[in-house]
């Protein structure tokens, strides 16, 4: 599962990383970084439109184009094992795949009444790129473009907290994942593998992350875990 992500870079930095021009309605600056992003928020994705890569803001919470409900909840995630088959996702999987660049993601360790949030990122920092699918829905109030993040079975680092984790794409797979000419599951699904645990690091962070209104880089500061049943493998908490 992936129900909270973090972006500690600006839109300009994301666009520069992929060599893209960008035209977002409200570009973020370094003063408005999104450290604690929940579903229903706008998130940047890289997709192909009219044969060109572009950076666009989409609402996190996938709604298929054929939806008839006036206020659907939307799907934050889609399972890699069934994304090519489920009616809600299969058309987008064939035709509308995207890259979701993030700085990291959060997961929670349950312990009695306590839920301790942990932050996970690439070992040493930097961006990771998640596999996504998107669609365009004609809502009662106008067109809404939405996105879901794909998930795979968790690796050894994440599994003590949750049995699922986001599907992290390797750089050499970006072009194939975005290629609108490629629609065969047997070519695309092998890209959605469980990411090696040694290439990630994680640590416990403030319970303030539990509030979707909380923001700020201080949310990523490591703290001693409230739940003692799990110690992150790649970060030594003092």
CA 160 to CA 197: how far, in whole Å? 12
Residue 230 has a pLDDT of 55
The CB-side HSE value for 103 (13 A sphere, CA atoms) comes to: 17
Asked if 65 contacts 91 with a C-beta cutoff of 8 angstroms, the reply is yes
Residue 174 has a pLDDT of 97
Residue 237 has a pLDDT of 36
Residue, of 28 and 217, whose pLDDT is higher: 217
Distance of CA 206 to the CA centre of its chain: 20
CA 188 to CA 182: how far, in whole Å? 8
Residue 16 has a pLDDT of 85
Residue 224 has a pLDDT of 87
Give the tens place of pLDDT for each residue, 50-102: 999 999 999 999 999 999 988 888 999 999 999 999 999 999 999 999 999 99
Residue 32 has a pLDDT of 66
Residues 6+ apart with CB under 8 A from 158: 107, 120, 165, 197, 200, 202
Residue 71 has a pLDDT of 84
CA 58 to CA 143: how far, in whole Å? 11
- The residues annotated as belonging to the active site are 2, 107
Helix, coil or strand: residue 31: helix
Domain 5-220 listed as CATH 3.40.50.620 = no
Residue 236 has a pLDDT of 39
Q: How many CB atoms lie within 10 A of CB 209?
A: 21
Residue 17 has a pLDDT of 85
Residue corresponding to tokens 């930095």: 13
Give the tens place of pLDDT for each residue, 107-137: 999 876 778 999 999 999 999 999 999 999 9
Rounded to a whole number, what is the largest CA-CA distance in the chain? 52
CA 84 to CA 129: how far, in whole Å? 20
pTM of the predicted structure, to 2 decimals: 0.91
Residue 114 has a pLDDT of 74
Got the DSSP string for 110-132?
EETTEEEEEEEEETTS--EEEEE
Mean of all residue pLDDT scores within the chain: 90
Residue corresponding to tokens 């690439």: 122
Residue 15 has a pLDDT of 86
- Confidence label for 228 from pLDDT (cuts 50, 70 and 90): low
């Amino acid at each position: 599962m992936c129900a909270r992500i973090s972006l500690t870079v600006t839109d300009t930095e994301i666009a520069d990383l992929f060599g893209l021009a960008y035209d977002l309605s409200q570009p973020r600056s370094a003063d408005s970084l999104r450290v604690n992003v929940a579903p229903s928020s706008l998130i940047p994705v890289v997709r192909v439109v009219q044969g060109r890569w572009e950076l666009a803001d989409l609402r996190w919470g996938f709604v298929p184009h054929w939806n008839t409900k006036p206020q659907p909840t939307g799907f934050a995630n889609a399972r890699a094992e069934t994304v090519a088959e489920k009616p809600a996702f299969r058309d987008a999987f064939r035709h509308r795949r995207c890259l979701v660049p993030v700085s990291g993601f959060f997961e929670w360790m349950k312990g009695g009444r306590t839920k301790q949030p942990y932050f996970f990122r690439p070992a040493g920092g930097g961006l990771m790129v998640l596999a996504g699918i998107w669609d365009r829905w004609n809502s009662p109030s106008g067109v809404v473009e939405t996105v879901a993040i794909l998930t795979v079975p968790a690796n050894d680092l994440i599994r003590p907290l949750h049995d699922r984790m986001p599907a992290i794409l390797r750089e050499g797979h970006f072009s194939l994942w975005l290629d609108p000419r490629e629609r065969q599951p047997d070519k695309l699904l092998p890209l959605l593998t469980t990411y090696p645990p040694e290439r990630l690091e994680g640590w416990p962070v403030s319970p303030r992350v539990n509030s979707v209104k909380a923001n700020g880089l201080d949310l990523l500061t490591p703290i001693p875990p409230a739940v003692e049943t799990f110690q992150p493998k790649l970060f030594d908490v003092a």
